[in-house]
Amino acid sequence: MTQIPKIIHYVWVGEKEKPELVLKCIESWKNFLPDYEIIEWNNDSLKNIKNQYVEEAFRNKKWAFVSDYLRLYALYHHGGVYLDTDCEITQNIDEFLDLDFFSCYEYFDGRSELFPISALLGAKANNKIIFDLLSEYDGLKFETENGLDLTTNTVRISNYFSKKFNFNAPYSGEKKYLEAKSIIFPYTFFCKKEYNSINYAIHHFNGSWLPTYQRRDKFKIGKKYIISRFKKERDRDNNDYPINQDEEIIFNIKISENRLFCLIKRKK
């Protein structure tokens, strides 16, 4: 009987250096899973992948959305365990390799809802669940008439589980069998460590892929101009404004330490 192979996949695209947290998390993989092959999916990996959605996401430097596609591509074609770069392994996970698919719920402090996590996914090659999730990107455009499609993979996965398995929010957080050997585990398994609970991984929610600022478009001026509000969400030195490739900021007005309004012009 074939197992999930001992391969760890992770994605690092863009031009940034890996921060200390990421390096520490990768070191934990090597420490607790020393016999696992580690594969990095990066800018070069995209050269042999033909998909409009991921090409457009990469062109717009939306690395999180590039990663959404690449993790599924890696698991479908190779099998193994996908880890976000801010996932720390806390003990060996070999006992899960006899399954066809596994993941857990995502729990974030300060938020009451649970969602199926995408930061850790395990699957055999050619797995049907992964195939279905990957197929949702066929013919999908990241650049749409209404701007960029910023639908998160958590939303896509939740919608798929609802349609395919009638598995709907609000989630109880209990162990869930999608199929006999396809399981969603409690969040304490692979997301958050809690006292007196079994734990194999911690998701630190570093958000290294996320922009420094969040954007909200206020109103349009004709067909080419937009007035948008930007709110700083992360304490970083860079001005990583979430604008599209075909947009440029003409000028901005700072209204507080963490907020500003910008006049944006569409180039086309």
Give the structural domain span for 221.
213-266
The pLDDT assigned to 158 comes to: 92
Residue stretches of the chain with pLDDT short of 50: none
Q: Within a domain: residue 2?
A: no
Angle at 5 between CA 75 and CA 129, to 5 degrees: 35
Other C-beta atoms closer than 10 Å to the C-beta of 256 total 8
Q: Tell me how far apart the alpha carbons of residues 19 and 7 are, in angstroms, rounded to a whole number.
A: 23
Are 36 and 121 spatial neighbours (Cβ–Cβ below 8 Å)?
no
Element housing 262 (H / E) = strand 259-266
Same structural domain for residues 168 and 142? yes
Same structural domain for residues 219 and 196? no
The pLDDT assigned to 130 comes to: 98
Q: Within a domain: residue 1?
A: no
Angle between helices 128-135 and 153-165 (to 10 degrees): 120
**Of the residues 171, 203, 235, which one is the last residue of a structural domain?**
203
Record the pTM: 0.80
**Domains in the chain, number:** 2
The pLDDT assigned to 239 comes to: 64
Long-range contacts of 190-197 (CB under 8 A, 24+ apart): 190/87, 190/103, 190/104, 190/117, 190/119, 190/120, 191/104, 191/105, 191/106, 191/107, 191/117, 191/119, 191/120, 192/107, 193/90
Burial, 193: exposed, middle or buried (Cβ in 10 Å; 0-12, 13-18, 19+)? middle
**Of the residues 203, 223, 250, which one is the last residue of a structural domain?**
203
**Is 55 in a helix, a strand, or coil?**
helix
Same structural domain for residues 144 and 251? no
The pLDDT assigned to 207 comes to: 59
CATH for 134 = 3.90.550
Q: Within a domain: residue 19?
A: yes
The pLDDT assigned to 216 comes to: 83
The pLDDT assigned to 128 comes to: 98
The pLDDT assigned to 116 comes to: 86
**Of the residues 180, 203, 226, which one is the last residue of a structural domain?**
203
Cα 111 to Cα 108, 115, 224, distances in angstroms: 6, 11, 38
Are 209 and 236 spatial neighbours (Cβ–Cβ below 8 Å)?
no
Q: Within a domain: residue 208?
A: no
Same structural domain for residues 113 and 175? yes
Are 103 and 117 spatial neighbours (Cβ–Cβ below 8 Å)?
yes
Same structural domain for residues 174 and 240? no
Same structural domain for residues 77 and 133? yes
pLDDT in tens, 239-251: 667 777 678 888 8
